Amino acid sequence: MRKSIFCAARFYTSFQCSSRCVYCDIHRAAEYRRFRTLEASEAETLLRQIRDLGCIYLDFTGGEPTRNPDLPRLLSSALGLGFETEVTTNGLRGADAAACSCASRASIFNISLDTLNRERYRQIRGVDGLGAVLQCVEAVTALRRKRRMTPPKLMSVVSGRNAEDIPDLLRFAQEKKIELYLNLEFVYGGWREEENARFDGEELLRYTFLPNAVVPLHFIELHRDVLRGENVLCGSNRHILTFAPDGSLLLPCYPARRRVWLPWKGDLQETLSSAEFQEAERQSGKMEECRACAFTPYYGFSYYHLDKYFFLEGFSNCLNRLKQYYLIPLGIENACDGSSRRHLRELLLLLRGLPESGGIGGQLYQARKRADGLYYTDIYRKPLTQEQYEKERLAHSCLDLPRMPHHFALELEFRIYRMALICLTKESCGELLSKSVEFLLRWWKVCVAINMNVIVNFDLDTDRIWLTEILDKMERLAVSNGWTLPRRPTELQTERKL
């Protein structure tokens, strides 16, 4: 397990912005006006060096990223280098050619939309631009569908200012057949102190299972913990690098009160080897102000520390895949009920009891070898054999650890749900998938309860029996249709006593 694994970069392609959002300081702070913008060829050199570090995800951000005229070219270059790219626009350029050019090249394209109320939009965003944003939504959605690309997402920054507008935004997203991503307003550096902005993020849980709603459970848990005064591991300069329009590297992070921009002089490895960067890496997440920070872009990759955020992010991703690729296309809106909300509450309680893994220096977790030759951890329920530990020690991220619930969830999706969508009638497929959300929830609970060192707060046997019965039906269906059977996980094979 390496000390630092750089997986993502945030590239501020422009600090210029046509919005004046109440929750953003870019248009207020004078420091952002002094940066030059890299020439396209210079920026492409930087992108190659970022890719050479092992980064696979590149977030082109701002300001308003489309204000950089070279962004379409940079997106094409990033695609050629193997990056997954993401762009979030304020949409104020409407349907103009520049915005559409970027939308046609980005892997993920988001449009910011906090409300459908024109006056409230002006109050939040500081400009009268709702009409232009709606034009952007229409144009970009049509363009990406025509090119068989994933439709754009609506990105809504949720606070007390606009919480009452979420139902209208969700109906709008459902009409357009696109996703609405509900992202809590960032908490950092004294922001969000206005009375009308206060909002209990756990209220968003009610939207978790609704069609077209994307609720990032790991971010909601992060905000909850930060507001309770708990410290959480930050990915800034450990897994995520942040670059200014001139290529300089931001230290220690965007939300910090005292920021330093480390110049890029054409050699990124040289920059990362500097004493300034090494110190910023050591201090990541450990400064006093880190305790009051929930700047979610630095917590979006929870794969490098085995904790509750990893399990919640994995569950959210699998749930949203189910909704986006199976339930919504089939028109299944009753795949969850009151029991799903109960299972979610039980999962959250279970994960909140997960011990700290003790992972330090880039380790996914900390293990101790004892005289019996076994490896003991605080986070796993049972010790690991030498062979098990050696396999896990070589894991690049938590995604590679064998006993994690996402493995079976994805296998079930591709071997059963995907084949059902291809081969069965809509009615038969709908009957099969109507239990998919509950299956996902129960499976996550059972897998965590059996493998991890947690207090089980639900009837484990009841969940295991229910999962086994549903899985038996799926396997009979697979055999009758000649599909490849998914491997039944050991957690559902034999009786286990905790």
Give the separation between CA 175 and CA 451, rounded to whole angstroms.
42
Backbone angles phi, psi at 334, to 5 degrees: -115, 35
pLDDT band at 63 (very low <50, low <70, confident <90, very high): very high
Name residues whose C-beta falls within 8 Å of residue 104's C-beta, 6 or more positions apart in sequence.
143, 144, 147, 149
DSSP 130: H
Specify whether 313 is located in the same domain as 412: yes
- Give pLDDT, residue 321: 95
Average pLDDT for the chain: 90
Q: Tell me the one-letter amino acid at 370.
A: R
Q: What is the CATH number of the domain that holds 226?
A: 3.20.20.70
Give the separation between CA 323 and CA 56, rounded to whole angstroms.
25
Residue 3 CB burial class (10 angstroms; 0-12, 13-18, ≥19): exposed
Name residues whose C-beta falls within 8 Å of residue 393's C-beta, 6 or more positions apart in sequence.
1
- Report whether pLDDT(190) > 70: no
Beta bridge pairs of residue 213? 180
Specify whether 225 is located in the same domain as 320: no
Percent of the chain's residues with pLDDT above 70: 94
Boundary (domain end) residue, out of 247, 276, 298:
298
- Give pLDDT, residue 239: 86
**Closest alpha carbon to 90 in 163, 161, 24, 155:** 155
Name residues whose C-beta falls within 8 Å of residue 233's C-beta, 6 or more positions apart in sequence.
285, 305, 307
Specify whether 252 is located in the same domain as 322: no
Q: Exposure pattern of 430-467 as b/e (b: 16+ CB <10 Å)?
A: bebbebbbbbbbbbbbbbbbbbbebebebebeebbeeb
CB 110 within 8 A of CB 152: yes
DSSP 296: G
Q: Is residue 497 part of a domain?
A: no
The tokens describing 74, both together, are 């940079």
Specify whether 383 is located in the same domain as 421: yes
**Token pair 């034999």: residue:** 494
Give the separation between CA 230 and CA 145, rounded to whole angstroms.
43
> Which of the listed ranges 104-118, 198-212, 220-234, 286-300 does the model predict with the highest average pLDDT?
104-118
Q: Is residue 498 part of a domain?
A: no
- Give pLDDT, residue 381: 95
Give the separation between CA 462 and CA 100, rounded to whole angstroms.
51
Boundary (domain end) residue, out of 265, 298, 331:
298
The tokens describing 390, both together, are 């050696």
Choice between 426 and 407, residue whose per-residue pLDDT is larger: 407
**Token pair 């230290």: residue:** 251
Q: Is residue 3 part of a domain?
A: no
CB 60 within 8 A of CB 86: yes
Choice between 51 and 432, residue whose per-residue pLDDT is larger: 51
Count of residues making up the chain: 498
Gyration radius of the chain's alpha carbons: 23
- As a whole number, mean pLDDT of residues 397-409 equals 94
Specify whether 271 is located in the same domain as 329: no
Specify whether 294 is located in the same domain as 329: no
Backbone angles phi, psi at 182, to 5 degrees: -100, 105
CB 94 within 8 A of CB 132: yes
CB 433 within 8 A of CB 473: no
Q: Is residue 142 part of a domain?
A: yes
Q: Is residue 2 part of a domain?
A: no
Name residues whose C-beta falls within 8 Å of residue 337's C-beta, 6 or more positions apart in sequence.
none
The tokens describing 415, both together, are 């071997």
The tokens describing 237, both together, are 């300069």
Q: Which of 27-36, 94-103, 294-303 has the lowest mean pLDDT?
A: 294-303
Residue 10, CA distances (Å) to 55, 153, 211, 308, 489 in order:
11, 19, 30, 24, 38
Q: Tell me the one-letter amino acid at 4.
A: S
Boundary (domain end) residue, out of 262, 280, 298:
298
Specify whether 452 is located in the same domain as 414: yes
CB 219 within 8 A of CB 184: yes
pLDDT band at 360 (very low <50, low <70, confident <90, very high): low
Give the separation between CA 74 and CA 78, rounded to whole angstroms.
6
Q: Is residue 327 part of a domain?
A: yes
Give the separation between CA 17 and CA 405, rounded to whole angstroms.
42
Q: Is residue 46 part of a domain?
A: yes
Judging by DSSP bridges, how do beta strands 375-377 and 367-369 pair with one another? antiparallel
Specify whether 292 is located in the same domain as 368: no
The tokens describing 137, both together, are 């939504």
- Give pLDDT, residue 2: 39
> What is the pTM (predicted TM-score) of this model?
0.93
Judging by DSSP bridges, how do beta strands 8-14 and 240-243 pair with one another? parallel
Specify whether 287 is located in the same domain as 339: no
Question: How many domains, in total, are found in the chain?
Answer: 2
pLDDT, tens digit, 9 for 90 and up, residues 458-482:
999 999 999 999 999 999 999 999 9
Percent of the chain's residues with pLDDT above 90: 70
Specify whether 38 is located in the same domain as 123: yes
Specify whether 214 is located in the same domain as 363: no
- Report whether pLDDT(18) > 90: yes
SS3 148: coil
Helices (H), 161-307: 166-176, 217-227, 268-272, 275-283
- Give pLDDT, residue 498: 43
- Give pLDDT, residue 497: 45
Q: Which of 256-265, 352-361, 453-462 has the lowest mean pLDDT?
A: 352-361
Residue 447, CA distances (Å) to 350, 456, 474 in order:
11, 11, 19
Asked whether the bond before 489 is cis by omega within 30 degrees of 0, the reply is no
- Give pLDDT, residue 361: 54
- As a whole number, mean pLDDT of residues 345-364 equals 82
Range of the domain at 328: 308-492
Q: Is residue 424 part of a domain?
A: yes
- Report whether pLDDT(396) > 90: no
CB 308 within 8 A of CB 222: no
pLDDT band at 493 (very low <50, low <70, confident <90, very high): confident
Specify whether 250 is located in the same domain as 316: no
CB 450 within 8 A of CB 439: no
CB 375 within 8 A of CB 368: yes
Give the separation between CA 370 and CA 389, rounded to whole angstroms.
13
